Amino acid sequence: MRAESTGHVLMTVDTVGGVWHQGLELAAGLARRGMRVSLATMGARLTPAQRAQAAALRGVALHESSWRLEWMDDARDDVCRAGDWLLGLEARLRPDVVHLNQFAFGAWPFVAPTLVVAHSCVLSWWRAVHGERAPSSWDAYRDIVRRGLAGATLVGAPTQAMLDALAFEHGHVQGGVVLPNGRSPADFRPGEKQPVILAAGRLWDPAKNLAALEAVAPRLPWPVRVAGACVEPGRMAPCTTAAVQASAVQWLGELAPTELAAQFAEASIYALPARYEPFGLSALEAALSGCALVLGDVPSLREVWGNAAVYVPPGNAGALRAALMQLIDGPRQREQMAHRARIRARCFTPSRMVQAYLGAYARLCAPKHTVADAAVQAPVQRQPEAIPCDS
């Protein structure tokens, strides 16, 4: 299958994070280039809004499930059943490529070549958040990821930093390919800017480090708004209402895409003092909306944004406040940084993302001697035994 030719990809996508939006953007772009796309969803049942988003895509077929994801509690049986479900889909649909946005399924014996894309990893997340190796309670996850990486025909990630994390945490040093994410500038436009600081992220995820923003909010002259899910997937306990009401931050809750885009358009500064962020789709959306960026100083964000953002050590609340105050008090610098970020953001377009994935698919479908010779290509291997599943 050439990068410009028609073909058929079976792609998994989870419904509980930013990968959902990236997956839809990619699927739409692939369909516009003539590919058939079959989306296999998991993680949770689609919301009505998500189902409407998927239904609006021409050339994209939806196959829905609610199997738990490999990083969720008590997920082992669901992962096994999901893998068998995907094998059944492949047998029926006969795609040219199986594109897996989870690690585990790289170990399943698909007929078509497989691309495993690492959007995140619990072990690298744990090290970034806690400063140490993940405990033995995550050994089963370690084994799942190791098997999935070893079984994949090709491994990709949105940044080189994420590929480096796979090498460090899982010993995956067999090569890989960087597949940058992309978002459409048409969906995120600057509006009339207001004296507002915005952040977006999962409130329950310490990797987003929103607690640091909450800590400095009382000492800032501008209001701080935070949008994001309050409840961790797979858990029922909501955020403590009293704590949210007592906060100096204005919690917006989980917003629909159009509502979040309106918040981006209005905010002058976007703050994401993250401890861990494999790519940072929310920062890309904010930059396209004309926000100046204040980001956690981590390798992946440096890789994506270069000199188009202000960086702060994630553990230093004083540095975070100082950076925000510098932009608040310096309108010219704020406008300059917003301009830099928007120019940089326009490098991460859907068309560039689609072209990168088409190139990866083409490598997978090339004759084996060509694939083996590609510098970024992981060696093609026999599929190892999948996760041991109870019969």
Ordered mean pLDDT values, 10 residues apiece, the chain (391 residues): 71 88 94 96 92 92 94 91 97 97 96 97 96 95 95 97 96 89 94 97 86 94 90 52 60 90 98 96 97 98 98 95 98 98 96 96 76 41 44 34
Rg of the chain on CA atoms, in Å? 21
Examine domains 8-181+350-373 and 185-345 and report if their fold is the same.
yes
Residue pair 354/25 in contact (Cβ under 8 Å)? The answer is no
Q: 149 Cβ partners below 8 Å, 6+ apart?
A: 103, 106, 116, 155, 166, 170, 172
The pTM assigned to this predicted structure is 0.88
Residue-level pLDDT at 368: 61
Residue 212, CA distances (Å) to 7, 284, 287, 316 in order = 47, 21, 21, 8
Residue recorded with tokens 């409130």: 203
Taking domain 185-345, whether its CATH number is 3.40.190.10 is answered by no
What are the boundaries of each domain within the chain? 8-181+350-373, 185-345
Taking alpha carbons only, the member of 370, 363, 368, 366 closest to residue 382 is: 368
Beta bridge partners of 156: 117, 177
In DSSP notation, 222-251 reads: S-EEEE---S-TT--PPPPHHHHHHSSSEE
Residue recorded with tokens 């500064």: 269
Q: Which CATH number fits domain 8-181+350-373: 3.90.920.20, 2.40.30.10, 1.10.287.3610, 3.40.50.2000?
A: 3.40.50.2000
Residue-level pLDDT at 257: 87
Q: What angle do CA 130, 312, 203 make, to 5 degrees?
A: 55
How many Cα atoms are found within 13 Å in the side-chain-facing hemisphere of 201? 25
CA distance 307 to 229: 30
